[in-house]
Structure 1
């Protein structure tokens, strides 16, 4: 599942493969940019911004992409067979003399002026893995709506950029509260630790092929994906329910013993728990 660490890894692979090299192959397979030709231009850098990828190209252009749930960028050596999916799922191809980057199932792909990047990513909050990271600003953003459930606030990229559904569940576990707890009800000491722990989680995993939040490989996660299995800390079966703001429901996991705060009833209503 693409989150800030996954996107950071994708940017690193693309930057290593393309940056400093001239494009000899350019194919943007979306109607709006079907006639755009980037061949002959040098790739300057590939930069992650939260869950967004910015591929900057000579001539003041940026190819902006977003992976969302299913998108991916694969890098192949010259002559290597592409294997990221069927051809009809390819949305972009950028090739140099010895490397080819292929974007599969990209739900967002746009070519814009580099000076207009703010139009694509200017709404984002501080990036957990970026040079603009500001823990104080991130916490201020989260607390702006004190009645909002913590899990929803963490997923809102306008508050802080890089957290997805996995880190949402894991971070709430480490804070000892449920994802349905109103942000404003988070104890002051835990609120101050929230940005610190979030950054440590993503930095620890940005170079790892598999995420680890427990500090060990088995189990590698505390609660995410562990429905009905014992909590690694107390042994209580982990619970799961959907959480969302109405636009999209996401599976959410928590330990009913280690985490205090509201939890959803089977009907979708909320009830306070100890």
Structure 2
């Protein structure tokens, strides 16, 4: 089973519903729980990025913060280094935004100020500039990635940094990129596209590959709701709404491209960290 066969079957579809709302949030939670990527991202930020911030005060802007599962860990690492922190999150989903502010406020203290804005990044207008602007797996969802990067750079102060974490278009992401192209009529950006854009614009950057694994064992277990949620997030579509043949092809593709380690099937879940 290869991606070409799956794309040929996809071409027979008239329409496909994107993964969104409650289903998106539930699938994201299950997907991230099956991967060690988040802890590796936090470790890299703690070791390589946060030590570059001031020990007196620091300001963070998290673009596409979701419910704050990652941000709360970044905040904890920041509090170990910096006395006073301002942490601002942007999230277009209202329920996720509410969860972000609740979670972050509970983790804060008198030296932490937290804000949340329920808006798309494209509509965000802000006069402040930040020490650290974070875009963690959010660039894929921007209508105009090049403009989003320019906007993000304009929000970084003179001594600050823009950090973008984005996947490469490898085996794990071939399904999502295929469905994205079908839904939107255009492909989304991955790390290769970001690297090319920055080089063409002569914008200096550092790139670090963070190697991680995604456990997809449950995707190979019939009737596993966990496996369905992981597959849904990988493909970025509710697979139960797809024709049965295409749905079977997706699960067969995941199994065929996975690695077997004892009783666990896994796919590389790498992410590239760009520091600008």
Q: Which has the larger radius of gyration?
A: 1
Q: TM-score, normalised by structure 2?
A: 0.24
Q: TM-score, normalised by structure 1?
A: 0.25
